[in-house]
Amino acid sequence: MTVFVHSSAVAQERKKTPALREQVYSQLARAQQLADEGDVSAGLDVLRNVESKLSSMNSYERAMLWNFYGYMYYGQDNIAKAIDYFAKVVEEDAIPEALEQNTLFSLAQLALGQGEFEKTIDYLQKWERVTAPEQHQKAWVLKAQALYQQGDYKAALAPITKAIDSVESKQQVPEENWLVLQRAIYFELGDTKRVAAVLEDMVSYYNKPEYWVQLAGVYGQLGQENKQLAMLETAFQQGFLTKGQDLLNLAQTYFFNDVPYKAGQVLEQALEQGAVERNLRNLKLLAQAWVAARETDKASAALLAAAALSDDGELDAQRATLLLNAERNKDAIAAAQAALEKGGLKQPGTMHLVIGMAELNLENFNAALQAFAVAKKFDDARKSASQWERYAQAEQEQQNRLQKLRADI
């Protein structure tokens, strides 16, 4: 907080500003010294003594008294009283221009900190009236913050953008909180493309993990999946993705961009490290990734782990089908039986069909035919079971003929 002293201020006074007499200034300086030494109470006593002679003081002397009061209370974190006294400073008619300018700007800053956004705008407007236009850029960010807090996002956009552009035009880096504010404004305005553009600058200037993740998310909202994946992948390679949700997002993005093997790798590692919870949803995603990547062993293990957390046999059923397709017939039979025992299947007949097909592959014809006979009892498998039953009967008859022929020979 700025406190004006008597040295050079008098020389910069406007013509109508009265003089600050030495006896008044010396008392004000003594009050400030006491406060600086830690005895604020004594300093305030001195100010009150000066205030008792208020009727004999001119406007400049009164303004300086209020200014010192404001400074004292600001130092005590009594912002409300500080604002009251600084407001009294600019109410005085004839005071130095610099004192008026700096006090108005300080009032705007303090009002913003107190959440008094209308007052902030009011003080800034008064400040602009007593300052040259080339100095107004000092208030752009402050004005944007106040307008944003008021919910006037369109009005807030212009000053913060001017502040950022003025810095970038000089090949300098804008302050981080300026970009944070601009991003928030675009978000509130629903301009997702502009949000992405600001985040691109934030990644470039500050390279923080959260900005990489946020930009990836915005690319996803824009339907730019390739950019989303590139951002997440690069962030992962830099060690920026450590949170479970971020790792899950990367795995899901890999999966939905047809890169299932990497999805499985990322998720499996995250599960092993404990970064991602080993729950049913995450294990199912892991299984889907490994199935899509045609990693049968890994997919089977993931489905088995997920099935242990499930209340029905659907995941065991998926595992049975997977193993059958991989020609691991005995394992397929065991998985299908587990699915039936657990129950809750949408298509239970399919599991009897899987058992029959696996038994047929093992040339266990009687067991296969028994399974197909059971499968025909279910609507979901009746047609296929009948076809496989005829095929199994034909295969069995062919094998019997061959065996008889060998025996005759």
Rounded to whole angstroms, the Cα distance separating 106 from 379 reads 80
Q: What's the helix, strand, coil split of the chain in %, to 5?
A: 75, 0, 25
Task: Give whole-number Cα distances, 310 to 275, 281, 305, 343, 392, in Å.
Answer: 22, 10, 9, 11, 34
Rounded to whole angstroms, the Cα distance separating 303 from 307 reads 6
User: Where in the chain are the domains?
Assistant: 22-131, 134-206
CATH of 22-131 among 1.10.3720.10, 3.40.50.720, 1.25.40.10, 2.60.40.180: 1.25.40.10
Which amino acid appears at position 122 of this protein? D
Tens of pLDDT along the chain (409 residues) come to: 444 443 333 334 444 788 888 888 898 988 888 988 888 889 899 999 999 988 889 988 899 999 999 999 998 899 999 999 999 999 998 899 999 999 999 999 999 999 999 999 999 999 999 999 888 888 999 999 999 999 999 999 999 999 999 999 999 999 999 999 999 999 999 999 999 999 999 999 999 999 999 999 999 999 999 999 999 999 999 999 999 999 999 999 999 999 999 999 999 999 999 999 999 999 999 999 999 999 999 999 999 999 999 999 999 999 999 999 999 999 999 999 999 999 999 999 999 999 999 999 999 999 999 999 999 999 989 999 999 999 999 999 998 888 877 776 6
**Orientation of helix 22-36 relative to helix 40-51, angle to 10°:** 160
- List helix spans (H) across 296-378: 296-307, 314-325, 329-342, 348-361, 365-375
DSSP 216: H
CATH of 134-206 among 3.30.70, 3.40.720, 1.25.40, 1.20.120: 1.25.40
Which amino acid appears at position 355 of this protein? I
Rounded to whole angstroms, the Cα distance separating 64 from 77 reads 20
Confidence (pTM) = 0.76
Which distant-in-sequence residues (6+ apart) come within 8 Å of 85 by Cβ?
A: 66, 67, 69, 70, 73
